[in-house]
């Protein structure tokens, strides 16, 4: 039965990546870093198997019944997420090589920034937008960040 209005739906796609990082704030002393970050301050770093969820929002296409073209979203995630962070030491990434500590919270900020600008380009009509980012670092720790405006 055709709808008389165009509902906005949310679609979430989940990606798995493995990456390492060392939590170390340059503004803190070595002792302060050990106190704040504990074992996560290991000079050799440590790794996680992250699950990154990208949620987009948009109208359901009346022809396809989809919110987003999944192959396009997957290609974006491969280019901007997997190729960049999977099997990498995040401290080597230009965004995290300075004062921006590669915590999962800050990773969420970076992923949100990239996808907020890239997701609208997946939709020729320009109605698709990033809704949120969720990153699961461990079974017990996850971080969710709603998309920012603009």
Domain CATH number, residue 60: 3.30.479.10
pTM over 0.95: no
The number of folded domains in the chain is 1
Asked whether residue 103 is assigned to any structural domain, the reply reads yes
- Phi then psi for residue 4, to 5 deg, are -90, -10
DSSP letter at 67 equals S
Q: Is residue 3 part of a domain?
A: no
Q: What contacts 133, CB < 8 A, 6 or more positions away?
A: 52, 53, 54, 55, 108, 111, 112, 115, 144, 145, 147
pLDDT tens track for 28-84: 999 999 999 999 999 999 999 999 999 999 999 888 899 999 999 999 999 999 999
Note whether residue 58 is domain-resident. yes
Q: Is 21 helix (H, G, I), strand (E, B) or coil?
A: strand
Q: Is residue 2 part of a domain?
A: no
Q: What are the helix (H) ranges across 1-150?
A: 30-37, 70-77, 83-85, 104-118
Residue 132 confidence (pLDDT): 98
pLDDT tens-place string over residues 138-150: 999 999 999 998 6
């Amino acid at each position: 039965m055709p709808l008389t209005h165009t509902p906005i739906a949310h679609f979430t796609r989940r990606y798995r990546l493995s990456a390492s990082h060392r939590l170390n704030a340059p503004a803190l002393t070595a002792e302060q870093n050990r106190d704040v970050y504990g074992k996560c301050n290991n000079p050799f770093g440590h790794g996680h198997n992250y699950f990154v969820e990208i949620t987009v929002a948009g109208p359901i296409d009346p022809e396809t019944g989809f919110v987003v073209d999944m192959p396009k979203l997957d290609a974006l995630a491969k280019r901007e997420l997997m190729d960049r962070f999977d099997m990498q030491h995040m401290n080597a990434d230009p965004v995290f090589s300075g004062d921006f500590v590669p915590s999962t919270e800050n990773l969420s900020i970076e992923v949100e920034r990239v996808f907020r600008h890239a997701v609208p380009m997946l939709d020729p009509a320009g109605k698709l937008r990033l809704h949120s980012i969720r990153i699961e670092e461990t079974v017990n720790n996850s971080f969710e960040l709603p998309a920012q405006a603009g």
